[in-house]
Amino acid sequence: MPRFTRVGLVLGLSWVLYLVSLPACVAADPIITLQNKPNTYDIGSAVYLFEDASGSLTFDQIRQQNQKFKKSQQEAPVYGPSSSAVWCWFRVRNASQETKWYLEIGSSFLHEVDLYHQKANGEFELIQTGAGRSFQDRTIKTNRLILPLHLPTNAERTFYVRFRSRSILRFPLRIATMPALYEANHRVDLVNGIYFGLLFALMMYNLFVYFSLRDKAYLFYVLFIFSVAADLACIRGYFLEFLPEPLLWLVNTRFFLGLAILLSLLFTNAILQVKHYLPQLYRLRWIIVASLVIVLLLNLTGFYVWSFTWVLLTFIPTYLYVYSAGILIYRKGFKPALYYTLGLAALGIGIVIYIAKDNNLLPETTFTESSLQLGSFIEAVVLSYALTSKFNIYRQEKEEVQAKAMQQAIIFSQELIQSQEHERKRIAAELHDSVGQSLILIKNRLLLLQKQVHHPEKVKSYSEDLTETVAHTISEIRGISYGLRPFQLDMLGLTQSIKGLAEEVAEASGIDVRVNADLIDGVFMKEQEINVYRIVQECLNNIVKHSGASQAQITLTRAEQLVNIIIQDNGIGMKSTPTNSTLKHGFGLRGIQERLNILAGNWTISSATPHGTIFQINLPVKAASVLV
């Protein structure tokens, strides 16, 4: 026989023997032996795994494919976001005196966990659990996935476990006695209890602040922290116990994770005022909202793993959005943005550590397992402090504004008193110089008239002079009275009074003043009409004193709930709309502003084309005013 033929036969025979002996090799691997001590065994790296990509294989089909199982290389087997079903196979010998051993699966959020345990007669019995099944149907009613193994002393049993998830497929495995599980888990439960309790306290405090201030940032903060806490409660398995079966989808679809992303966006925009400081970045928020809509659609169509993957992808632009907003707005001088950024940094570090642990890049310790809680708690505290800092800033600004307003009110009151004194002096001077002199003249002429009773010609002349003097005096008194309150308001109405005012200004100044007016009589209350009249009067006085105009136009327009007054001239114009500094130096303009405040109105001053000034005044018809 040729040499190459003999070599081929040897190689072929060796390959056949390998294939035949492969299941026996798998079965011959070391059995997990349970001793009296220790009473806890991490078996993640001692089991055999097989991935069913379709998730459709039955238990009987799996048992026929033992040769496809491969030894686990990880303490906590992880497959990332996956819709596959992963089968786990292991064999256990109980060499201890303890018969009540339990299998704990470290990921409480797994959707389906099916344990097939071998009975004494060699048949297999199925026990089912998981976040996708009713909590009341669990063999051991706890937030963790714990299944009994039924291992008599010196017995040897084979176990198959099927895992399936709607998010990350990761399953740390541990065999332990119940006392050992209790001792190991009570510290974690204590930490989680403190975490949820502190978050609840922060939510209640900020909720009361929201009801006091009605600031939406506080409401979004409370809802955001609740969503984060609820998502962690779903991950840890706490939420499942309190949800009725129709609401299990809240746990299985990671609904609260998507809600937390949306609320973080709303909270960021509210606390940092992104629309005001960064309008271009603010417009990008719709990209994140659209991405979350895609997540919702994927959930509704049953693509749960794709939905979870898309949520993780959405988290990246969201984190960039909120973190960039914090840094950029802090650089613009908004101090609460610093605390906001630090809080986000704490959450980001916690998320990175937790993801590294989930992918076995970091060991699973109490710190790495609790990193998400720690990061989110630090974030919650720092964000609450950021809200407090924002409130303090607004309070300081309000106090400064109130102080300035008080100072301006004091100055205005002083100027008003001075104006009143000036007006009193003017009236006193007019009464003394005109009316007083006329009355003295009347008195003297009456004395002369008494002495000339026997001279009819002189009596007639003195009587005519006396009549003329009395008429002049009456006219002067009428002018003084009109300056104090126009009689036309009561007799002719507001519209005609403004027209009469325009005629008087035109006659006195030489400016061509034209009026185009809708009828506004009866629109305002009597005490409001004098304010409207004085506003128009002061605008015309400004035109006469400062504009150098030759023409002016007054337009009164009445709408359904608004009276619009436009006063325009062709003078030299003004540089800009009056600011606080302008009002500070112009008592007339400040008087207009005060009267507008009483009428709940507003005004603007702009330049006319090609030159001149436009006063535009808007007065609500139903303004409730009180003349002080």
DSSP assignment string, 271-303:
HHTHHHH-HHHHHTHHHHHHHHHHHHHHHHTT-
Query: Which residues make Cβ contacts (< 8 Å) with residue 434, sequence separation at least 6?
Result: 473, 476
How far apart CA 628 and CA 616 sit, in angstroms, is: 24
Grouping H, G, I as helix, E, B as strand and the rest as coil, residue 214 is coil
- CATH number of this structure's domain 19-182, picked from the four choices 2.60.40.2380, 3.30.470.30, 3.40.640.10, 3.40.50.10540: 2.60.40.2380
Q: Residues 126-163: pLDDT tens digits?
A: 999 998 888 888 889 898 999 999 899 999 999 999 99
How far apart CA 592 and CA 561 sit, in angstroms, is: 21
Q: Residues 91-118: pLDDT tens digits?
A: 999 999 999 999 999 999 899 999 999 9
Question: Into which CATH architecture does domain 493-628 fall?
Answer: 2-Layer Sandwich (3.30)
Residues 313 and 82 sit within 8 Å (Cβ to Cβ): no
- Is the per-residue pLDDT at 201 higher than 90? yes
| Residue 289: predicted pLDDT | 94
b/e per residue 169-192 (b: at least 16 CB within 10 A): bbbbbbbbbbebbeeebeeeeeeb
Q: Residues 518-533: pLDDT tens digits?
A: 888 888 887 788 888 8
- pLDDT-derived band at 611 (thresholds 50, 70, 90) equals confident
Q: Residues 263-283: pLDDT tens digits?
A: 999 999 999 999 999 999 999
Mean pLDDT of 364-385: 89
- pLDDT-derived band at 432 (thresholds 50, 70, 90) equals low
For 64, phi then psi, to 5°, come to: -85, 0
- Is the per-residue pLDDT at 22 higher than 70? no
Q: How many residues does the chain have?
A: 628
| Residue 27: predicted pLDDT | 40
- pLDDT-derived band at 200 (thresholds 50, 70, 90) equals very high
| Residue 575: predicted pLDDT | 58
- Is the per-residue pLDDT at 367 higher than 70? yes
- Is the per-residue pLDDT at 39 higher than 60? yes
Residues 146 and 102 sit within 8 Å (Cβ to Cβ): yes
How far apart CA 55 and CA 75 sit, in angstroms, is: 23
Per-domain residue ranges of the chain: 19-182, 184-403, 493-628
- Is the per-residue pLDDT at 3 higher than 50? no
For the chain, the distance separating the N- and C-terminal CA atoms, rounded to the nearest angstrom, is 127
Q: Residues 450-508: pLDDT tens digits?
A: 666 666 666 667 676 767 777 777 766 666 655 666 666 777 788 888 888 888 888 88
How far apart CA 365 and CA 389 sit, in angstroms, is: 36
| Residue 178: predicted pLDDT | 92
Considering the chain, what is the average pLDDT of its residues?
82
